[in-house]
Structure 1
Amino acid sequence: MDTQHDNALAHALAAIPGPVPPSGVIHIVIPHTNRFTVVGNHLAQHAGLSLVAIGIGVHIQSLPAGSEISIKTLAARFPEGEVRIACALRELEAHGYLRRTRVRLAKGRVATRTVFCNQPGAVLRGGVVPGAPGAPVVAAAVRNPAPAPALVREHLRVPEPTRVPEPARVPEPTRVREPEPGLVPEPALVREHLRVREPEPTAVAGARPAPVRLPAPTAPKQPRRPLPHPHALTPERRQAASALLADLRRHAVELVLSEEAVEELVPGVAAWLERDATTDAIRHALTADLPKPLKHPARLLRHRLTALLPPPLPGVHDLTAPRRAPVPPFQTCDGCERAFRSHEPGHCRDCRAPYGEAV
């Protein structure tokens, strides 16, 4: 008697028109009247995007223009970390939904401009016109909206194709019936002979679509540095490097490598061993401060072996202090008996002239 039975769901299912599918999801569609966003299935059901990227893309579409969508802002809003959110933004950028460009502001400052497109496929094809159904809409204030073509034809008397009025004479605006299709002159002729003020760009049936300017592409990525190789890959170094890589999973469970990955990374570890790096130093450099979660351990080890490669150890002679130049010994002048520095005995500088010695 104390068990509550909620019959609202049963009544909602009974009100669904048509047969109910025997399995799978059943949709109860209630029309929205406020606070809703139209999202295309090309984004909601995208086969190349992850679930995090699709969710962030839908969230960005629901935000008003000017909202902050940086990685730190999204990480503070959602439980996902900054790494997953950054990967999701790169996915949206790779598929054309997101475009981030760096622009230079006044006083030498640099800012990031973010543009989100809800239909990147239509923009890339160039088959849409701004203002037409399905065209991209920029969230900005529109000044001096152009009158609709129907209002122009209604309030301006459109001349017949065979009777073109004089340029100086403008007929009084009267209400005329719609001309038959195929007899309406070109809009350029109407503006030329009626001297109508050229309206703002708008959607005109049959007109050539205006080109869509996309933001400038981001700077190209630098090529990846090659994995270091030793001058001589001896069997002893190969065996030591292979054993060190296979033993990393004992110190970090995330670093489980395949045999192919171990063979690929052996030259990098051998280059460290060739530069007199100890196994403990190599193991600490490869296992310290691992990201959570670690998706690609082989790529991380390749990056650390390349970026953290130490220089060769200096030799014994390189560490010794530089020797001073030899100082000439003291000599006694044969003429004035004064002491002076010289490698050979003789006369001092004052006594050289009388005795005819060369300077």
Structure 2
Amino acid sequence: MDTPQNTALMRALAEVPGPLPTSGVVHITLPHTERFTVVGNHLAQNAALSTAAVGFAVRIQSLPQGTEVGIKALAARFPEGEKLIAAALRELEAHGYLHRTRVRLPNGRMVTRTVFCNHPEALLRPCPADASKRCPALVAAPVSAQAPAPVTAPMAAPALVTAPVPAQVPTPAPVTPHAPLPAPEALETPAPPPVTDRPVPGEPLPPAPPAPRLVPPPTAPKAPPRPLPQPRELTPGLRQAAVALLSDLRRHAPELVLSEADIERLTPATATWLERDAHPDTIRQALTTDLPQPVKYPAKFVRHRLTVLLPPPLPGAEELAPARPRTVVIPLQTCEGCERAFRSRTPSLCRDCRTACEQPAA
């Protein structure tokens, strides 16, 4: 009663068609709807490849296009060491699954271009004419069963890559070079199909328009880096505190080991944080939290965080005080008639004097 039972697995075993084998593995195949990669048995069951090579081939095949697959990049992503990864990549390169070349970019930089083919044996096989539409990489001339060499067409055509003839095909009689030309009716251009909005059954759909490129190409010019923050006045006290904070970073994060030249270059930016009333513990936490693994360039990493995470200056007491409504005060004036004080914007008579002056006139 205390042995856990996987009821879902038992129910799936009951639904497997046919009798179950008495020994060996029993496959429960469920269709994938998302996050899956198709791997051929020519790779999964290749006895000439080691298990590590097959595993890294599957891992590289599952990565999106444009992902770094160098030795150090794979070692940072997976738990295997660099020596095992290098040996596995050499095996894949020897069997045609992987191809690495050194190319020069338009800006003069040398990079390694890595190409991974999921089925290298298919590149050596002849494919039918319609296969070039489905896979442009597998463009090959059709191999005739009667002739070991391709016959030259009468009309000029683009050069095609011809696959070698397998050794099992018997060698027939040589083909006469003067082959009969096809009838003139066969060379006529076929009439174009009618233009309709609905797809014709049995015909391939037109290619979809290319998706807009969201990521800039590698050769696109990069934006210049933001300048380091500079304090209003680098006092000796701020300089000493900034140097001590940068020198103490390796105690809290062993990856952030800075040289004396790096500390001298990053001192003004750290002093700017201190000038803006940032506590040293706050600066230290901002520089050592969520570090990438590994930190390849500690000085560039610290420079980036000092520049991007710079807090704004603290507001003053006047800026934090709530805005008060402005009260308009009317000044006091002295009446010219009775010398009584009253409030008015301009010198004049008071109310009583104005009333007394208006009554005789009425």
TM-score strictly above 0.5:
no
- TM-score by length of structure 1 reads 0.42
Higher relative contact order (CA 8 A, sep 6+): 1
- TM-score by length of structure 2 reads 0.41
